[in-house]
């Protein structure tokens, strides 16, 4: 059975675009049922509409609290019977209750080699620290921000010529490879989270630094 996916975005949606293109190209057993944004102007919404994927905007200003927003979000995800939730540049912090409800079915991509550089502004911080390597990480989401068990990482080299923008470009390029790969694994039934441990083909993944 095809796996029903939701992709949550707040902005450009280049990762969403990469996933849209990878599904038919790589024979990924998934269907993006809905793309949801907390920003009406998110370019990713147009990218989805362009290929006839349903979209939804949930307006944070209509909710009194994070809990109420997340309840509305959960209602929508239930409506679409989603089996995997893909955070792709979704800039809202989700409540613990929401995260725990979707444990093992909620993944995120973060622009750093976690556990280094959690949080925002990673490219500039990597430059400021004079790091030789930077990269991206896909992980299962847990309540603690950017701290979930790592599924897949890839590094890029930082050169003396690199700027914030050039690093962002390099990281985006690898994100567009590793995120579809993880979705492929998950939808093929190869990937799971058991007792906070990532299993691929029933073996513990050994790139987990947490
Ligand atoms: C990516 O760098 C991702 O790692 C981070 O947000 C950015 C989203 O980019 N979580 P895009 O909207 O997919 O282009």
Q: pLDDT by residue (tens digit) across 47-85?
A: 999 999 999 999 999 999 999 999 999 999 999 999 999
Pair 89, 11: CB distance under 8 Å: yes
- C-alpha torsion 124→85→149→152, nearest 10: -70
Q: Which atom of ligand 1 is nearest to the CA of 175?
A: 4
Cβ(148) to ligand 1 under 6 A?
Answer: no
Name the percent of the chain in helix, strand, coil, to the closest 5. Answer: 35, 25, 40
The Cα–Cα gap between 210 and 161 comes to 31
pLDDT at 23 over 70: yes
Chain position carrying tokens 């006839």? 52
The Cα–Cα gap between 78 and 61 comes to 22
How much is the average pLDDT of 86-106?
A: 98
Establish whether 50 is a catalytic residue: no
Q: What is the pTM of this model?
A: 0.97
pLDDT band for 206, please (50, 70, 90 cuts): confident
CA of 206 to the centre of ligand 1 (A): 25
Question: What CA–CA distances, in Å, run from 16 to 96, 101, 123, 137, 172?
Answer: 24, 23, 21, 16, 12
Q: What is the mean pLDDT of the chain?
A: 97
């Amino acid at each position: 059975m095809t796996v029903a996916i939701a992709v949550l975005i707040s902005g450009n949606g280049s990762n969403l675009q990469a996933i849209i293109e990878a599904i038919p190209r790589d024979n990924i057993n998934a269907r993006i049922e809905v793309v949801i944004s907390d920003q009406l102007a998110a370019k990713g919404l147009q990218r989805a509409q362009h290929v006839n994927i349903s979209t939804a905007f949930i307006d944070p200003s209509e909710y009194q609290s994070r809990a109420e927003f997340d309840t509305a979000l959960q209602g929508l995800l239930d409506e679409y019977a989603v089996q995997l939730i893909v955070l792709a540049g979704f800039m809202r912090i989700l409540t613990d209750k929401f995260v725990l409800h979707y444990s093992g079915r909620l993944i995120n991509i973060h622009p750093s080699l976690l556990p280094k550089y959690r949080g925002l502004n990673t490219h500039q911080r990597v430059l400021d620290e004079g790091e030789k390597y930077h990269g991206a990480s896909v992980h299962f989401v847990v309540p603690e921000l950017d701290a979930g068990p790592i599924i897949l990482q890839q590094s890029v080299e930082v050169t003396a010529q690199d700027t914030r923008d050039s690093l962002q470009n390099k990281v985006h390029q690898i994100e567009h490879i590793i995120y579809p790969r993880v979705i492929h694994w998950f939808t093929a039934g190869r990937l799971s989270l058991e007792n906070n441990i990532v299993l691929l083909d029933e073996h513990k993944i050994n790139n987990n630094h947490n």
